[in-house]
Amino acid sequence: MSERRIQADQPGACGLFEGLSRPHLARLLAASRVEEHPAGCVLVQRGQPGRNFFPVLAGQVNLVLFSKWGQAKIVETMGPGDSFGLPVVFLPAKGYPLSVVAVTDVRVLRVPGSEYLDVLRESPQACINLFTYYSSYVHRRVHDIEDLALEDARHRLLRLIMSRLPPGDGGPAEIVLQETRQELAARLSVSPETVSRMLRQLTDSGVVTVRGRLLKVHDRARLRAILDASS
């Protein structure tokens, strides 16, 4: 792990910092540290005590539950703009609720919870940012629950692919799947064999081409039509 201070003149690291006054932002950044971790690194362990939270600046992390047999269940994948570890700021005795593992090389900002709480006490904008962040998070989680409860695995895979495509209405596009097949299967709540079979079916239909983790969508409009038809 490498560590350094974030530059004071950099913009807010995430939505939680947007619109803060210069003194409050400078105060948070002065107390924070940028950390860089390699892919596969465990950033925090479930139950580990702590008072810091971590906005993701670059890369991706998985929020993971491990069974007593070592089986991993990916609860969520986070990237730039997301933050993990916020619950310990308000409930430090509980420890971190989930383990966090770097999917790629990642850069995160370690923010002291005590400093953040002081800013919340003084800044209405910081409080609004926090409520906005968690409101958006709740909407995303409800949508995820809806996907798991009401949609089949193929629909969940199509939706995941669509959500990761770069902006555009149609035509070809490429994405690199950061997860292994096992991790992708855990995210979709299916077996790795089911993921491979669904990707093979999409390939056979001519909608996508898969080479390792590189996934090329030949026609986004057609992929969207398949998604809509399976709704």
Looking at 3.30.1370.10, 3.40.1190.20, 2.60.120.10, 1.10.490.10, the CATH number of the domain 2-148 comes to 2.60.120.10
Both structure tokens of 195: 């993921």
User: Hey, what CATH topology would domain 151-229 get?
Assistant: Arc Repressor Mutant, subunit A (1.10.10)
For the chain, give every domain's residue range. 2-148, 151-229
pLDDT tens, the chain, 231 aa long? 554 555 433 444 567 888 889 999 999 999 999 999 999 999 999 999 989 999 999 998 999 988 777 777 888 888 888 899 999 999 988 899 999 999 889 999 999 999 999 999 999 999 999 999 888 888 877 877 766 664 678 888 888 888 888 777 677 888 888 778 888 887 788 888 999 999 998 899 888 999 988 899 988 888 888 887 766
Both structure tokens of 14: 């995430």
pLDDT in tens, 76-131: 888 888 899 999 999 988 899 999 999 889 999 999 999 999 999 999 999 999 99
User: In residues, how long is the chain?
Assistant: 231
Return phi, psi of residue 132, to 5°.
-65, -45
Q: For helices 181-188 and 153-164, give the axis angle rounded to 10 degrees.
A: 110
Contact between residue 118 and residue 86 where contact means Cβ atoms under 8 Å apart: no
